[in-house]
A and B are shown apart, each in its own frame.
Chain A
Amino acid sequence: MGERVAIVGAGQTLHRSRRLDVSAPELIDEAVQAALTDAGMGPDGIDAIVVGNMEHFEGIHLSDLWAVEGTGGVGKPQLKIATGGTTGSSLSQAAYYLVASGAFRTVLAVGWERLSDSEGETTTGIVTAFDPIYERPTLAGAVSGLAIMACQYQSKYGTRPEDAAEVVIQARENALRNPHAHLRKPVTTAEVLASPMLSTPMRYLDMCPTSDGAAAVLFTSRPGDRSAAWVRGVSGAHNHVYLGDVAEGAASFLNTLTIAAERAYKQAGVTSPREQFDVVEMYEPCTWAALEWAESLGLCAKGQAARLWGEGTTRLDGDLPVNPSGGVLCTNPIGATGLVRVAEGSLQVRGRAGERQVDGARLALTTGFGGSFWSEVMILGRDA
């Protein structure tokens, strides 16, 4: 389908709970310059830009205007993409399509968020994403939506809280190797189980943090002799409007992930994901989601994800490392979060992931999650 597309540069900021040292354009600039340096390219090499965030968290509209100086976008075609949690992965998909179409040779994708700007009001930003007539008046917020999903998963498979805890324990261990990660402190099972209950069965340490940060990724059809991660599969699946529709008779809340993954697997020739992928960078907003969605991705049988983590398969030195970066559980600048997955996946197959490198990684699976439980998937390979 169209031009072959490669990622030749990926950059991230230092992600922290508060980046009060920089304005939004400066935060974006930090990521863009890192991506250009990684690619060994100047800003003149960029033909078009896609940029996005979740807007409400910063209380601005026309965030593309606000961001333009950070992206170096003055005088260039620039599009804003905003799909909630998937904003970052949608940016990667849009950049891919723009390059694959042949319309542009090299496109920069930039995702960013300053969650600290709306200090303490993150839930307000998320609540405004929901239908104001039927769901907003009865909505319990982002945590409880995921908790309702986790409750269904737990009651179906009898998964224990300590099984979920194992996910964040491994994530925090990995984040120690990632200088960009926000939460870089190990946790124990006892600490997770003793952390405050937010919404049954979700405890404080089961949930992702809120971070300030940005990510930038360069997509091109002309990598030349640059180190490249080739896009091998791309798909997304949107969902019904209401949470009550999402749960309708579905085997899992996130059947959109299965739909998107199956399409992307087909493009990439993936028939047994567990064996063929060398590394996974998954958008897991909470521990329980990592378990359920590993199953949605076909990485193990239904109800078996606790074993995947428990037996260490998902560890950095395991058979199928999941989120060597520490994942969303350690770093979550929402509009960038999905793009961080793609950036990390590309670094892995290019062999540039530093201390968090998975030895010999050749094929990476990356995912995005957002909105009304919708999903996006991008597969990256060392080989075209």
Chain B
Amino acid sequence: MDIPDVEPVAVEGRIRIPYRWPAGKAGGRFLAALRDESRLLGQRCPKCARVAVPPRPRCLSCGAVADEWVPVGPEGELVSWTVARGGPAPVAWGLVRLDGADTGVLHRLLDVAPEALKSGMRMRAVLDGRRTGQITDIAGFAPAGGATCNR
């Protein structure tokens, strides 16, 4: 079996569509606190005490409306990581479980050599100097104990 030869006619095209996605009630509060007060907030479930970051409409463990807000981080533990080599320079990514939270946040890892990365190491959120009310107001996570908090 093999592919037969056919006249190679194909149509080329491109789709470009701008979007706007609302962060919603819970997400708005979380992102505004990050933007305006440099604070990281978690949502604590009143029933099972699970603390979730980022926020969502209901506790994913028990379904209760999680409307209690607690500070989390800015330090946390590196759960797992990878170093992507596809671009011009290696980029490190990791899952960081912020102190006080039960869930992890997926983000860039900064100011650390790939060889130094280790699951379980302590990390610290690095906030971006320019705030836009988006998750990228956290520039990434760097090893805790480093001097940087704002960049």
Contacts and interface: CB of A to CB of B under 8 A. Distances in A.
Interface stretch (A227-235, A238-246, A260-268): A238-246
Interface string B52-87: 111010001000000000000000000111111110
Contacts of A201: 82
A16 B106 CA distance: 34
B103 A21 contact: no
A301 interface: no
Contacts of A14: 1-3
Interface of B: 1-6, 8, 10, 13, 15, 19, 21, 23, 27, 31, 52-54, 56, 60, 79-86, 91, 93-95, 97, 102-108, 114, 119, 134-136
B86 to A, nearest CB: 6
Interface in A131-147: 132-135, 137-141, 143-144, 147
Contact of B136 (A138, A155, A196): A138
Given A59-B13, A243-B95, A138 B108 contact: yes
A68 interface: no
Most A CB contacts (10 A, CB to CB) among B4, B94, B107 go to: B107
B114 A200 contact: yes
Interface of A: 14, 16, 19-22, 59, 132-135, 137-141, 143-144, 147-152, 155, 179, 196-202, 240-245, 247-249
Contact of B79 (A141, A196, A199, A247): A247
Nearest to B117: A200
Contacts of A20: 6, 8, 10
Contacts of A249: 102
B52 A245 contact: yes
Most A CB contacts (10 A, CB to CB) among B19, B21, B103 go to: B103
Contact of B82 (A134, A135, A144, A248): A144
A167 to B, nearest CB: 19
The secondary structure that dominates the A interface is: loop
Contact of B95 (A16, A134, A179, A247): A247
8 contacts: A21-B6, A148-B106, A150-B82, A198-B84, A199-B82, A244-B53, A244-B103, A244-B106
Contacts of A132: 19, 21
A242 B103 contact: yes
Contacts of B52: 245
Contacts of A59: 13, 15
B134 A242 contact: no
Given A21-B6, A151-B119, A138 B82 contact: no
B83 A200 contact: yes
B96 to A, nearest CB: 8
A202 B54 contact: no
B83 A243 contact: no
A151 B80 contact: yes
Most A CB contacts (10 A, CB to CB) among B3, B5, B53, B106 go to: B106
A144 B95 CA distance: 11
Given A20-B6, A148-B95, A151-B80, 9 more contacts: A21-B4, A137-B134, A138-B107, A144-B93, A196-B85, A199-B83, A200-B81, A243-B106, A245-B103
Given A134-B54, A138-B106, A148 B80 contact: yes
Contact of B106 (A135, A150, A200): A135
Nearest to A244: B104
Contacts of A202: 82
B82 A21 contact: no
A197 B92 CA distance: 13
A200 B8 CA distance: 39
Nearest to B20: A132
Given A16-B3, A144-B93, A148-B93, A243 B86 contact: no
Contact of A179 (B1, B81, B108, B134): B1
Contacts of A247: 79-80, 95, 103-104
A202 B82 CA distance: 9
Most A CB contacts (10 A, CB to CB) among B4, B54, B97, B102 go to: B54
Most B CB contacts (10 A, CB to CB) among A19, A21, A59 go to: A21
B105 A200 contact: no
B51 to A, nearest CB: 10
Nearest to A140: B93
B97 to A, nearest CB: 8
A140 B119 CA distance: 18
A140 B87 CA distance: 11
Contacts of B19: 132
Most B CB contacts (10 A, CB to CB) among A21, A134, A202, A240 go to: A134
Given A133-B23, A241-B56, A155 B104 contact: no
Nearest to B27: A133
A201 to B, nearest CB: 8
A118 B60 CA distance: 35
Contact of B105 (A143, A152, A197, A244): A244
